[in-house]
Structure 1
Amino acid sequence: MTDHPRNAEEFVELVAALRFEDAFNPYSDLCSDFDRPDAARIRRRNLVMVLEAAIDRGVHSIWVARDLGYRGGRRTGLALTDEVHLRAHADLLGTPPLARSTNGPVMAERTATVIWQMLVAIKQPVFLWNVFPLHPHASGDPMSNRCHTRGERLACRHIMVGLIHLLSPHHVLAIGRDAQLALEDLGVAAEKVRHPSYGGQAEFISGVSTHYGLDAGDRHDSAPLFA
Structure 2
Amino acid sequence: MTERSELVDDFVALVADLRFDNAFNPYIDTCVDFDMPDAAAIRRSNLTKALDAALTTGVESVWVARDLGYRGGRRTGLALTDEAHLNAHAALLGAEDLRRSTRGPAVAERTATVIWRMLMQIGKPVFLWNVFPLHPHEPGHPMTNRSHTRAERQACRHIMVTLLDLLAPKAVLAIGRDAEAAMADLDIVAKQVRHPSYGGQPEFIDGVSAHYGLPKREPKHETLPLFG
**What TM-score results when the alignment is normalised by the length of structure 2?**
0.93
- Alignment match, 1:118: 118
Q: 1:161 maps to which residue?
A: 161
Structure 1 position 216, deviation (Å):
3.8
Query: Aligned partners of 2:141 and 2:59: how far apart in 1?
Result: 36
Q: Alignment RMSD, CA only?
A: 1.2
Amino acid at match of 1:30: T
Cα distance in 2 between the residues matched to 1:96 and 1:133:
22
Alignment of 1:177-188 (within 5 A): 177-188=177-188
- What is the number of equivalent residue pairs in this alignment? 216
- Answer yes or no: is 1:212 the counterpart of 2:212: yes
**SS of residue in 1 equivalent to 2:163:** helix
Q: For 1:112 and 1:219, locate their aligned partners in 2 and report how far apart those are by CA, in whole Å.
A: 14
Say which SS state the counterpart of residue 63 (structure 1) adopts.
Answer: strand
Q: How big is the shift at 1:6?
A: 6.0
In the TM superposition, what is the alpha-carbon distance from 1:217 to its structure 2 partner?
5.7
| 2:52 counterpart residue number | 52
Q: Distance in 2 between matches of 1:152 and 1:110?
A: 26
Unmatched 5+ residue regions in structure 2? 221-228
In structure 2, give the amino acid aligned to 1:69. Answer: G
What's the counterpart of residue 148 of structure 1? Answer: 148
User: Which runs of no fewer than 5 residues in structure 1 stay unpaired?
Assistant: 221-227
* Alpha-carbon distance in 2 for matches of 1:86, 1:172: 22
Q: Please tell me whether the aligned partners of residues 209 and 219 of structure 1 are also in contact (alpha carbons under 8 angstroms).
A: no
In the alignment, the residues of structure 2 paired with residue 6 and residue 186 of structure 1 have an alpha-carbon distance, to the nearest angstrom, of 26
* Cα separation, 2, equivalents of 1:132 and 1:6: 23
Any idea what SS the aligned residue of 2:106 has?
coil
Distance 1:6 1:14 in 2: 12
SS in 2 for 1:7: helix
**TM-score when normalising by structure 1:** 0.93
1:17 aligns with 2:17: yes
Pairwise CA distance, 1:7: 1.1
Runs of 4+ aligned residues of structure 1 deviating over 4 Å after TM superposition are none
Identity of aligned residues (%): 67
Paired position in structure 1 for 2:75? 75
